[in-house]
Amino acid sequence: MKNNMRTKITTLIALFLISLGVNAQIDRSQQPKAGPAPTINLGKPQTFELKNGLKVMVVENHKLPKVSATLILDNGPIFEGEKAGLTSIAGEMMGNGTKTISKDAFNEEIDFLGANLNIGSQSANFNTLSKFFPRILQLTADAVQNPLLTQEEFEKEQAKLIEGIKSGENSVAAIAAKAQNALVYGKNHPYGEFETETTAKNVTLADVQNFYATYFKPNNAYLVIVGDVTFKDVKAQVTKHFNNWKKGTIPVYEIPKVTDVAKTEINFIDMPNAVQSDIAVINTVDLKMSNPDYFATLLANKIFGGGGEGRLFLNLREDKGYTYGAYSRIGNDERTSATFKSAASVRNMVTDSSVVEFMKEIKTFRDTKVTDEELKNAKAAYIGSFVMALENPATVASYALNIVTKKLPENFYETYLQKINAVTVDDVQRVAQKYFSTDNARIVIVGKALDALPNLEKLPYAINYFDKESNAASKPEMSKPLPNGVTKLTVLDNFFNAIGGAAKVKALKSTLVTYEANAMGSVISTTEKRTSTKYANETSMGGNVVAKIVMTKDGVFMNKQPLPAPMAGEMSYTIGTFLEMGLLNNESSKLTGIEIVDGKDAYVISTKGEIVSSSVYFDVATGLKVKELQVITMQGQTQNQEATFSNYQEFNGIKFPGTKTGSLGPQKVEFKLIGAKVNEGVSEADFI
Amino acid sequence: MRKIIYLSSLALFLSVSLFAQKVEFEEYDLSNGLHVILHKDNSAPIISTSVMYHVGAKDEVDGRTGFAHFFEHLLFEGTKNIPKGEFFKIVSANGGANNANTTQDRTFYYETFPSNNLELGLWLESERMLHPVINQVGVDTQNEVIKEEKRARIDNAPYGKISYRTGINQHIFKNHPYKNSVIGSMEDLDAAKLQEFLDFHKKFYAPNNAVLVVAGDFETEATKKMIENYFGDIPKGEKVERINIKEAPITESIKVTEYDSNIQIPVKLFIYRTPSNKDKDSYTLDMVSSILTSGKSARLYKKLVEEKKALQVLAFNDSQEDYGTYIMGALPMGATTLDELGVEMDAEITKLQNELISEKEFQKLQNQFENNFVNSNSGVQNIANTLAANYTLKGNTNLINDEITIYRSITREDIKRVANEFLNKNSRVEMDYLKKEIE
């Protein structure tokens, strides 16, 4: 009985445990499915309008005892021209006192109440604890309608602006932002112009007063108030404080038309301090929010470069590791062109490769349809952010504001999710072809020319150079200064030491090297023999000798035919047991600077001739030769020959490049070192 | 007399109404030591799932700096059930947003979703905690990404060495790991072996060293059950021993120069070592910082910017678990020299050390901190972050509601005392942050 009882209890416990176990049994190998979609509640702000045109929107939200407010003067962009900087100065001067409250008293009171108030050139906003809202609203109204604009304040803000302009001169990001707008829109466009020291100095207090009197009007003004207030109180207070704000005439301004470049080009600005290149591929788009293409462009951009799952990010960051982030953005504008822009900051050495990837991604995006899954995911992302944005009470107000200022249908946001869902993969491709340009884009690059330019020049785009203020400039100087004490002799001695010791190398009588490569379907083999006074090179293809060059003091012979004397004369310095022995003894071979070869600093020894010029590159760190470049100019034609050297291997105590990569027509050919000999295998018969 | 009574009862009423907007939460531990905090708010269909691990840059050893930040990246690489590169995609494809960040003291991961994806959020964080994939491929990928992050945020950015403290910490700390920056040394990361990453993970990323916060639109009982299901069987780790490294006081001012090639305008900085964030004096320093630079009527702003001697003034009070850092500085304007700025900054500190702030200035501080307090509680993600940080770093989750009372308990005398105790001329770093010329 006792036993039986015990068994029962155990069974019970076991059952209990099992049921617990069953409860905990979740299949974590399966991603959980979403529950039923939450219902969303799109409220609408309450509104009223004053006789002077000021439109007011109020969203009551009593969750926290605070209030925020925004005033927007929707007057459109203002072109400042020779006085660029006027709106900045005016914006800074506003909100520092009123005709009846001194600057100190005004700022002291705002701070005392713990509030934040900012008035800009065409806007104002504040946030405050709700208990101080009435007073902050009153102070804002006074500051907007009766600003204190004094000469003293003007001079202070002008000086600060000029200092601020200077402060950004070495910032790659600041220069890039200015350049992108100036180049894409042109400096005659309000979005393209920027303030300089000169234009900021042109501004006077009278300009500021005039600007205020002209543009700070309630005609196109919206005041949005969100938070712990009641509509009734707001209406009473706003009416009381803003009713006397006088309407005026806002000047009509025709914004210049913007055109893209006829053919995609690179716009390069050199900043020697850059450790990353700022790259932006930009074309303009004519797109308003009310355009039926709007939703498809949102999704296209999302898939292309709208975030961490975008193709740009997956390619340039996740796959290539070129950058911390690569994104695209498509804008919309009611009054003028907006832009489609793909951008990233990438490390200097991959500037060209990044441009290639950007252009490739844009092309692919236009040429092929996105997948159903990509589109589905992009839609989900938009739907999610739409739902989550509703947490912020200001969202409802900004939607209402968009409907009025961007002339959207009343139900724009009620049907928002529906319109997102209706977009198809065909729509995405159609808008990509319409708005994402491969042929008429500007590739604006701000970076270090020394590192980035040599490879950018190999891309199929014209490069135009600009200075930091986006004025046309000439190509930047491309070599680095040499450190003190470095001369041709030290560079060559370093080389000799690196390959086996200067004394040993200089004492050699002869050298013989053989390289082989597979190209054009056969084995190409080349053997070079050198003594201190003679040189021979034999190239064979599939076992047959195709070319033999011999150089002696008597001349240069190609397949036993002498080359013209002027040309031969310019080649003879290369004679020596090593080319470098020739450089050492030739007075017209000079150390010219430091350039970058495959991302590393290299000393350059150049020999300039009428017909034959050459540059030989030695790695600064290892001393080894890494590249040779020969340029032959004859009868107006120029031919470049380039070879790079790597993978040095030792033979008889002397190191020779194990790999030599050269070009054979359009093809790159990699030669492997087969054998090398010193002081043997070379006889006089080789130089006939 | 009557009027005064009326006013004080009004003040009482206001403070009562303030406490009425208390952040409600409940907290408990799972059997594996994972601390759970729930904050329910059904007013909008949004949910946040966050995990804070009590590991930051200060838990790294010399020669292997940057590990905590490295893991911030690495733990997005995938898990046993989430293929490489899918983490962000899953979040986005379900309408969510996510990110992570690392400080000297802790690492924070979070997702926000429309509330019907609560279970997905819990699954993602539990996958990350239970069995993340840490392999050489992931290490290599993230190593490159972090180098680009450093270039973008620090090496190519004006004042990057100040913003990310890579030009600050080594001067103010000599022994404590706070001497290193959060991003760490690229050489250390290059040299680190896979096994070292695995060891670091095993030591610090277990449930007993973490807190899970779920905030937003959920149903409590069902949520608790889901949390148990997803996190309950994650094995407990070894108890984490906190470091205990003391710094000797600085007795003579340390003068240093740092260079930045991305700037035109230099900065004069005074840097002070301050007490732990658990110390009331750390809160007092927040107020000192506010007195000097918060708003156009702030003392240093008025003296330097309004008088056209400085383009900008700045002050940061980095409150941290073991020690804090207080940084104040100014960017000169026109012909003003860095030394002159130093003299002006000193004059303001001396004033704080010798004179009590006025009653009016004191009331201003109360209003400013009340406004900050109200704003810091807006949005479920902000609330989740504050709850997690208060629990992890200060051991008191309820500070989300109580912190304002700490600020309110600070007196004018406290401010004067703290200025004397911590803003001492002889125990600081004086830095000239200069433009580096490019040859």
Q: What confidence tens digit (pLDDT) does each residue in A419-467 have?
A: 999 999 999 999 999 999 999 999 999 999 988 998 999 999 999 999 9
d(CA A38, CA A584): 80
Partner A contacted by B219 (CB < 8 A): no
Q: What confidence tens digit (pLDDT) does each residue in A496-537 have?
A: 999 999 999 999 999 999 999 887 778 889 999 999 999 999
B21 burial (CB, 10 Å; 0-12 / 13-18 / 19+) is: middle
Distance from CA of A555 to the nearest CA of B (A): 45
- pLDDT beyond 90 at A216: yes
> In B, which residues are within 8 Å of A325 by CB distance?
152
B46–A168 CB contact, under 8 Å? no
A156–B306 CB contact, under 8 Å? yes
Q: Does residue A168 contact residue B264 with C-beta atoms inside 8 Å?
A: yes
- pLDDT beyond 90 at A597: no
B93–A381 CB contact, under 8 Å? yes
Which of A31, A33, A148 has the most B C-beta neighbours within 10 Å, making it the best mutation to test the interface with B?
A31
Distance from CA of A415 to the nearest CA of B (A): 18
d(CA A75, CA A220): 6
Nearest CA in chain A to B83: A29
In this structure, the strands spanning A265-270 and A221-227 are: unpaired
Nearest CA in chain A to B332: A163
Identify the helix (H) or strand (E) that includes residue B96: none
> In A, which residues are within 8 Å of B137 by CB distance?
none
A318–B334 CB contact, under 8 Å? no
Residue A565: what pLDDT? 85
Distance from CA of B126 to the nearest CA of A (A): 9
In this complex, how many residue pairs, one in chain A and one in chain B, have their CB atoms less than 8 Å apart?
233
Partner B contacted by A420 (CB < 8 A): no
> In B, which residues are within 8 Å of A96 by CB distance?
296
- Which residues, given as ranges, of chain B have pLDDT below 50? 1-20
Cα–Cα distances (Å) from A286 to A247, A257, A302, B157, in that order, read: 32, 11, 19, 33
- Nearest CB partner across the interface for B364, out of A36, A111, A481: A111
Partner A contacted by B217 (CB < 8 A): yes
d(CA B163, CA B153): 9
B263–A171 CB contact, under 8 Å? yes
- Nearest CB partner across the interface for B116, out of A35, A273, A324: A35
Write the DSSP assignment of B288-310 as a string of letters. Answer: HHHHHHSSTTSHHIIIIITTTSE
d(CA A472, CA B172): 47
Nearest CA in chain A to B227: A24
Which of A391, A445, A448 has the most B C-beta neighbours within 10 Å, making it the best mutation to test the interface with B?
A391
- Nearest CB partner across the interface for B96, out of A104, A107, A384: A384
> In B, which residues are within 8 Å of A347 by CB distance?
147-148, 151
- pLDDT beyond 90 at A42: no
Cα–Cα distances (Å) from B244 to A609, B104, B175, B395, in that order, read: 70, 14, 11, 17
- pLDDT beyond 60 at A665: no
Q: What confidence tens digit (pLDDT) does each residue in A530-569 have?
A: 999 999 999 888 888 888 889 998 888 888 888 888 888 8
Nearest CA in chain B to A108: B297
The 10 Å Cβ neighbour count of residue A501 is: 13
Partner A contacted by B438 (CB < 8 A): yes
B45–A173 CB contact, under 8 Å? no
Write the DSSP assignment of A458-509 as a string of letters. Answer: TSSSEEEEE-TTS-EEPPPP--BPPPTT--HHHHHHHHHHHHT-HHHHHT--
Q: Is A257 left (phi over 0), alpha (psi -120 to 50) or beta?
A: beta
Cα–Cα distances (Å) from A442 to A105, A117, A326, A487, in that order, read: 50, 39, 17, 42
Distance from CA of A588 to the nearest CA of B (A): 27
Distance from CA of B137 to the nearest CA of A (A): 11
Partner A contacted by B359 (CB < 8 A): no
Write the DSSP assignment of A70-126 as a string of letters. Answer: EEEE-------GGGTTHHHHHHHHTTS-BSSS-HHHHHHHHHHTT-EEEE-SSEEEE
Partner A contacted by B296 (CB < 8 A): yes
Partner A contacted by B297 (CB < 8 A): yes
- pLDDT beyond 60 at A226: yes
Q: Does residue A308 contact residue A246 with C-beta atoms inside 8 Å?
A: no
Residue A638: what pLDDT? 67
Q: Does residue B253 contact residue B428 with C-beta atoms inside 8 Å?
A: yes
Q: Which two tokens stand for residue B228?
A: 């148990």
Q: Which two tokens stand for residue A247?
A: 């309407």
Nearest CA in chain A to B115: A38
Contacts of A339 (CB under 8 A, 6+ apart): A184, A282, A283, A284, A285, A329, A330, A331
- What type of residue sits at position A8? K
A388–B114 CB contact, under 8 Å? yes
d(CA A351, CA A179): 18
The three-class DSSP label of residue A149 is coil
> In A, which residues are within 8 Å of B97 by CB distance?
384-385, 388
**How does B166-190 read in b/e, with b if 16+ C-beta sit within 10 Å?**
bbbbbbbbeebbbbbbbbbbeebbe
Partner B contacted by A326 (CB < 8 A): no
Write the DSSP assignment of B106-145 as a string of letters. Answer: -EEEEEEEEGGGHHHHHHHHHHHHH-B---HHHHHHHHHH
Distance from CA of B334 to the nearest CA of A (A): 8
- Nearest CB partner across the interface for B114, out of A38, A114, A377: A38
Q: Which two tokens stand for residue A259?
A: 């055109």
Q: What confidence tens digit (pLDDT) does each residue in B81-132 have?
A: 999 989 988 999 999 999 999 999 999 999 999 999 999 999 999 999 999 9
Cα–Cα distances (Å) from B6 to A131, B11, B13, B347, in that order, read: 17, 9, 11, 41
Partner A contacted by B14 (CB < 8 A): yes
Confidence of residue A237 (pLDDT cuts 50, 70, 90): very high
Residue A539: what pLDDT? 87
- What is chain A's mean pLDDT, rounded? 90
Q: Which two tokens stand for residue A586?
A: 């030739």
Residue A11: what pLDDT? 39
d(CA A497, CA A47): 84
- pLDDT beyond 80 at A46: yes
Cα–Cα distances (Å) from B215 to A162, B27, B123, B169, B210, in that order, read: 47, 12, 15, 34, 16
Distance from CA of B243 to the nearest CA of A (A): 32
Q: Which two tokens stand for residue A653?
A: 């105590």
- Nearest CB partner across the interface for A65, out of B149, B308, B374: B374
A29–B81 CB contact, under 8 Å? yes
B85–A276 CB contact, under 8 Å? no
Residue A456: what pLDDT? 94
Phi and psi (nearest 5°) for A226?
-130, 130
Cα–Cα distances (Å) from A662 to A140, A519, A629, A645, B257, in that order, read: 72, 11, 10, 9, 48
Q: Does residue B108 contact residue B101 with C-beta atoms inside 8 Å?
A: yes
Partner A contacted by B29 (CB < 8 A): no
Residue A4: what pLDDT? 41
Which of B374, B401, B433, B439 has the most A C-beta neighbours within 10 Å, making it the best mutation to test the interface with A?
B374
Residue B438: what pLDDT? 64
Which of B:154-183 have CB within 8 Å of A? 155-158
- Nearest CB partner across the interface for B311, out of A31, A116, A167: A167
Nearest CA in chain A to B130: A28
- pLDDT beyond 70 at A18: no
Opening angle at CA A285, ends A282 and A290, nearest 5: 140
Beta bridge partners of A640: A631
B90–A31 CB contact, under 8 Å? yes
d(CA A214, CA A652): 87
**pTM, two decimal places:** 0.77
Closest CA to A137 of A210, A224, A205: A224
d(CA A556, CA A550): 6
- Nearest CB partner across the interface for B43, out of A63, A114, A132: A63
Q: Lowest-confidence range among A311-325, A472-486, B304-318?
A: A472-486
B95–A380 CB contact, under 8 Å? yes
> In B, which residues are within 8 Å of A307 by CB distance?
88, 92
Q: Tokens 């069974």 correspond to what residue?
A: A11
